Amino acid sequence: MIMKKFAYPIKARILASALSVAAIAVSAAESGKSIVSGELWPDDKGIHINAHGGGVLFHQGVYYWFGEHKVAGGAGNTAQVGVGVYSSRDLCQWKNEGIALGVDDDPKSDIAKGCILERPKVIHNAKTGKFIMWFHLELKGQGYGAARSGVAVADQVTGPYRFLGSFRPNAGVWPSNVSDGMKKPLAPEESDRLSKVAMPGNFVPEFARDWVFRRDFAGGQMARDMTLFVDDDGAAYHIYASEENSTLQISRLSDDYLKPAGKYIRVFPLAFNEAPAMFKCRGKYYLFSSGCTGWAPNAARLAVADSIWGPWQALGNPCSGPADRIGKTFDSQSTFVLPVEGKKDAFIFMADRWRPDNAIDGRYVWLPVRFGKDGRPFLEWMDRWDMDAFNNR
Ligand code: GAL
């Protein structure tokens, strides 16, 4: 192996690295004022932005982009470093602000190096002045079985964030939109039967019995792909793929944003949505999501509701364009919707083009959310665009 590594002549290596630096410098100059989805996106040091499954917080005139800091190769699918943060005033040029939350070298920690820490989102609590980060956490060595939520807090937006702990949300609380007849833990024989069912991440008849949230009543609901949403009145919500990925749940956070407040609903039971990303426009709540096909892209979905507590109405695939592109959300999966400050009804759909074989090379797809004549949001591919796309609409 070592021989192979050094078989590449040193001169060629220097030339190749000079060429790639030049290529990055050119694309940096070009992309300085526009968004170019799917390409390398250099930061202030010319290095591809490393903030996957991310979300953006606007605070005091500056945007902060938080995301998974991945490393090269397949190891990048586990957390070797933590959550990175970048800052920007124009959404095109980003400065690397370092690691906001680092993984822990202590193997006993819930966020031990090598755990799976995905889709971090940060919100600011105006009452406490704190910055609060939530993320999907899988304990080291347990694959995707733990399905927990991690919470961390900081006094400064860029951190350092202090890890507070992890849990499955809403333990001991029934969803508020199920019938009273369903509000009972599984009987021992139901429990026994469910424990023997393989959960492949897609439909199995046992799901139809709505058994999974009842199974998880005492220990808390499973929480994988997630986002956070803060409403106009300051109320914050945690939206996550639950019940073995079969059902989304929307859960109100406590006033300090550090824990569930004790009210949640099930959304689209058994529809297998993940990658939730919410925004609010003209009084309506919109929710992007995807189907469950792991790192491989599938068709996006959009839903709308007049109240965050529903009822939610599915609007289908929001993408417009050639069938092969829109069937896979332009080769990406949603992670967040970013409201653009100072522009009316201006939102950016943020998505990831995963590269699981070389995780650090994952790309970003950012597209302006457009609105049809009927007011319905849609997405269309754009090779290159800038914030002027939101003018004169
Ligand atoms: C995707 C999910 C990603 C990651 C991946 C692992 O479905 O959206 O965040 O968990 O699966 O396969």
pLDDT tens digits for range 26-47:
444 455 789 999 999 999 999 9
pLDDT of res. 199: 75
Ligand 1 mean position to 293 CA, how many Å? 8
How far apart are the C-alpha atoms of 254 and 77, rounded to whole Å?
31
Instruction: Note the pLDDT of residue 23.
Output: 42
Q: Which pLDDT does position 29 carry in this prediction?
A: 41
pLDDT at 202: 73
What's the total number of domains in the chain? 1
- What is the residue type of 18? A
Q: Output the pLDDT for position 324.
A: 86
For residue 354, the CA-to-ligand 1 centroid distance in Å is 9
Residue 198 near residue 204, CB atoms below 8 Å: yes
Does residue 293 belong to any structural domain of this protein?
yes
In-domain check, residue 2: no
In a domain, 155, yes or no: yes
Which residues of the chain carry a pLDDT beneath 50?
A: 1-29
Which tokens in the block code for residue 203? 């439909």
pLDDT digits (tens, 9 = 90+) for 44-54: 999 999 999 99
DSSP annotation string for 318-361: -EES-HHHHTTTTT-EEEEEEEPTTSTT-EEEEEEE--GGGGGG
Ligand 1 pocket test, pick from 118, 137, 244, 248 with the greatest ligand atom count within 8 Å of Cβ, gives 118
Closest listed residue to residue 291, CA positions, set 260, 320, 334, 330: 334
Domain assignment of residue 9, yes or no: no
- Would you say the CB of residue 119 lies under 6 angstroms from ligand 1? yes
Query: CATH no. for residue 300?
Result: 2.115.10.20
**Is residue 258 in a domain?**
yes
Residue 173: give the domain boundaries: 16-390
- DSSP secondary structure letter of residue 160: P
Which atom, in ligand 1's list, is nearest to the CA of 241? Answer: 8
Report residue 343 as tokens. 């522009």
- pTM score, whole prediction: 0.92
Pocket flag, ligand 1, residue 295 (CB < 6 Å): yes
With a 6 Å cutoff on the Cβ, whether 274 touches ligand 1 is yes
Select from 228, 280, 236, 227 the least CA-distant residue to 127.
Answer: 236
Is 276 near ligand 1, meaning CB less than 6 Å away? no
Looking at residue 12, its pLDDT comes to 38
Q: Is the CB of 260 under 6 A from ligand 1?
A: no
Which of 68, 117, 138, 224 to probe ligand 1 with, by most ligand atoms within 8 A of CB?
224
The reported pLDDT for the residue numbered 16 is 38
Q: According to DSSP H, which parts of 163-271 are helical?
A: 188-195, 212-215
Could you tell me whether strands 313-316 and 370-371 are parallel, antiparallel, or unpaired per DSSP bridges? unpaired
| Domain presence at residue 7 | no
Q: Is 53 in the pocket of ligand 1 (CB under 6 A)?
A: yes
Nearest 5°: phi and psi at 379? -125, 140
In a domain, 4, yes or no: no
Distance in angstroms (rounded) separating the CA atoms of residues 210 and 192: 15
Residue from 244, 239, 242 nearest 226 by CA: 239
- The phi, psi pair for 208, rounded to 5°, reads -60, -20
Which structure tokens are listed for 328?
Answer: 């896979």
